[in-house]
Amino acid sequence: MSVQDEINKRRTFGIVSHPDAGKTTLTEKLLLFGGAIQVAGAVKSNKIKRSATSDFMEIEKQRGISVATSVMAFNYRDKKINILDTPGHKDFAEDTFRTLTAVDSVIVVIDVAKGVETQTEKLVKVCRMRNTPIIVFINKLDREGLDGFDLLDDLELKLGLKVCPLSWPVGMGQRFQGVYNMYEENLNLFRPHSKQATSDEFFKITDLAAKELDERVGEKAADELREEVNMVREVYPKFNHDDYLNGKVSPVFFGSAINNFGVKELLDCFVEIAPGPQPRVTEERQIDPLEDKFSGFVFKIHANIDPKHRDRIAFLRICSGVFRRNTNYLHVRQDRKMKFANPTSFMAEKKSIVEEAYPGDIVGLYDSGNFKIGDSVTEGEKLNFKGIPSFSPEQFRYVNNADPLKAKQLAKGLTQLMDEGVAQLFIKELNGRKIIGTVGALQFEVIQYRLKHEYGATCDYEGLPLHKACWIDGPADEIKKFCDRRKKDIAKDKDGKLVFLAESAWALNMARENHPKVILHYTSEF
C-alpha cells in the first residue's frame, strides 16, 4: 500500500466535553463497535470491577473521571482510527488544550439534560480558533432532558456553531423510541437495557409519510417526528461536506452511549466525512502530510504509564513522511540525533511496538528525560511547531516531604510529574523550598496520589497566596538588579530559568514600573 493510501486511511480525533457528559463511555462504545474491545467497561460502577479502557490510571478508576488524555487506535471499515479521550474536568484543561493541537477533528459530547456547559464552551472556543471540524453528539437520550430545538439553539448561541442535525430523536426519557437517521434515511429503534448488544434494529424509511412508521412507533410519536424533521429541514442548512471540513458547519447526532445507541451511526458517518491528516504550521513553514521527509511533535508526556517499569513516554504526533523504528532522527531543540528502538502504538495502557507509522498516527517514545512538550523530531530539517500552549499557574502551594527517608523518591517523582506539563515546580532562591503551581486545585490531589502510589513518596502541602509566576527576561545587568532587590520573591523553575513570584497584582505592577527594562512573561515559552 502506498504512503498516500496509508495517509488517506487515517482519522485522528479528540473527544471533548464537560465532566460527566459521557465522553469516556462514548469512547468505550466506539472501541466496542470498532472491535478493539469485547466488553465495555462500567466507568463508575463499583460493583463490577471493570473500568473504562481509556481510564487506566488508578485515581481515574477510583474517581470515575479522566485526569489524563488517553490515546487509542483501532481499525474500522478500512480506516485507521486514532481516538484521544481527554479530561473533561477544568483543572486538567491544559492537557486537553494541548491534545487539541494533535487532532484533525473533534467530537463534542453534550448531556441532553444539562445542555452546553462552561467547560465545553472553553474547549470549543479553542477548536474554533483553529477551524477544527466539529461533530456534536447529544448523549443520554434515555433520560429526560431539554427539547431538541432548545439544544440546537444552545449550541448556536453559546458555542457559536452553525449546526446541521443529521439525526433526530423519537421522544426522550421514558418516551424515547429511537433515532431517525437523516443522513442515511433509516430509523433505528431503541431497545432499553440492551447495553452490550452491538446490533440495533434498523429499518429503511425513505418516506416519513409511510404507514409503517405509525405501526412501529405509534401514531402520535410518528406525527411528532414528521413535524419536527420537516422543521429541521426547513430551518437548518443541508449538510455540506466542505463547510464541515472548514469548521463552518457542525453535524449533530443524538443517542445514548451507555446503551450503545446512536453510536454506530455516529461512527459510520464519522469515518465517511471526517478529515484525514491535515497540514501543520511551524515557525518556518507549513508542513504537508504528503511530504517525503518525516516530521512530528511531542504534545504530551506521561510518566509511569506502567508503574511496574517506571517508564516515561512522550506522545509524538506524526505530521509528515513515514516514521520508522531504529532510524536516526533529529531532536530539534537539543540538536542531536536519536534512535528509537521501541516506538509503541496504544490501546490506552496496552502497548505494541510499531515498525512504521504515518501522518495522523500517535506514537509513544520511551524517554529518559530528553523530551519536553512542544519538541520537534524531524529527518534533519530544523522545524518548530506552533500553537502548543503552555499555561501560567493560578494556584500555588509549598510542597513538604512527609517522609525524610523517601527524599530521593520525592525528588524523582516531582521531576517526572512536572515534565508531563500538568503542573510547574519552582524552587525558591532564598531558602530552596519547593513550590508547585497548577491551574486547578484537583491537580494537587492527583500529584499527591501519584507520588504515593507510583513513587512511594508522601508529601503534604502548605498554602501560599501568590498572584502570578512570571518568567524574567531582559538585559543581564537589569535582571541582576531586579533579583537583588526582590530576593524573597525570586525562584527558579525546573529548567533553571528565573521566575518572579508576585504576591499580588499591585506587586506585579510595581515591579514593572520600577524595572521597565525587565520583561515579565506569563509563560516560559517566550
Range 285-305 burial, b when 16+ CB lie within 10 A, else e: eebebebeebbbbbbbbbbbb
Which one, of 72, 127, 73, 74, lies nearest residue 96 by Cα?
A: 127
pLDDT for position 390? 67
Q: Rounded to whole angstroms, what are the CA distances from 260 to 187, 190, 194, 200, 203?
A: 15, 10, 8, 9, 17
Using only C-alpha atoms, the chain has a radius of gyration, in whole angstroms, of 25
Looking at residue 415, its amino acid is: T
Residue 385 has pLDDT above 60, yes or no: yes
DSSP letter assigned to residue 258: G
Angle at the Cα of 439 (from 435 to 444), degrees rounded to 5?
55
Identify the residue whose cell numbers are 500555588: 396
Residue 223 has pLDDT above 80, yes or no: yes
Residue 151 has pLDDT above 90, yes or no: yes
Classified by CATH at the fold level, domain 280-378 comes out as Rossmann fold (3.40.50)
Which one, of 16, 22, 29, lies nearest residue 44 by Cα?
A: 22
328 forms beta bridges with: 339
Classified by CATH at the fold level, domain 395-521 comes out as Alpha-Beta Plaits (3.30.70)
Domain boundaries, the chain: 15-66+105-273, 280-378, 395-521
Lowest mean pLDDT: which of 2-11, 14-23, 107-116? 14-23
Could you give the CA distance from residue 344 to residue 305 in angstroms, rounded to a whole number? 12
Q: What is the pLDDT of residues 421-440, one digit of tens each?
A: 778 899 999 889 999 988 77
Residue 13 contacts residue 84 (beta carbons within 8 Å): yes
Q: Tell me phi and psi for residue 256, to 5 degrees.
A: -140, 100
Q: What is the pLDDT of residues 353-372, one digit of tens each?
A: 889 999 999 898 888 778 88
pLDDT for position 426? 93
Residue 207 has pLDDT above 70, yes or no: yes
The cell for 469 is 509566576
DSSP per-residue letters across 429-441: TTT--EEEEESST
Residue 166 has pLDDT above 60, yes or no: yes
pLDDT for position 309? 54
Most confident stretch, 60-69, 116-125, 199-208: 116-125
Q: Tell me phi and psi for residue 205, to 5 degrees.
A: -145, 95
Residue 93 has pLDDT above 70, yes or no: no
Angle at the Cα of 240 (from 236 to 241), degrees rounded to 5?
140
pLDDT for position 513? 92
Question: Is-same-fold flag (15-66+105-273; 280-378)?
Answer: yes
The cell for 234 is 426547513
DSSP letter assigned to residue 489: G
Residue 291 has pLDDT above 90, yes or no: yes
Chain-centre distance for alpha carbon 109: 13
SS (HEC) of 51-116? CCCCCCCHHHHHHCCCCCCEEEEEEECCEEEEEEECCCCHHHHHHHHHHCCCCCEEEEEEECCCEC
Could you give the CA distance from residue 472 to residue 491 in angstroms, rounded to a whole number? 10
Could you give the CA distance from residue 183 to residue 186 in angstroms, rounded to a whole number? 8
pLDDT for position 91? 46
CATH class as words, domain 15-66+105-273:
alpha beta
Identify the residue whose cell numbers are 465522553: 23
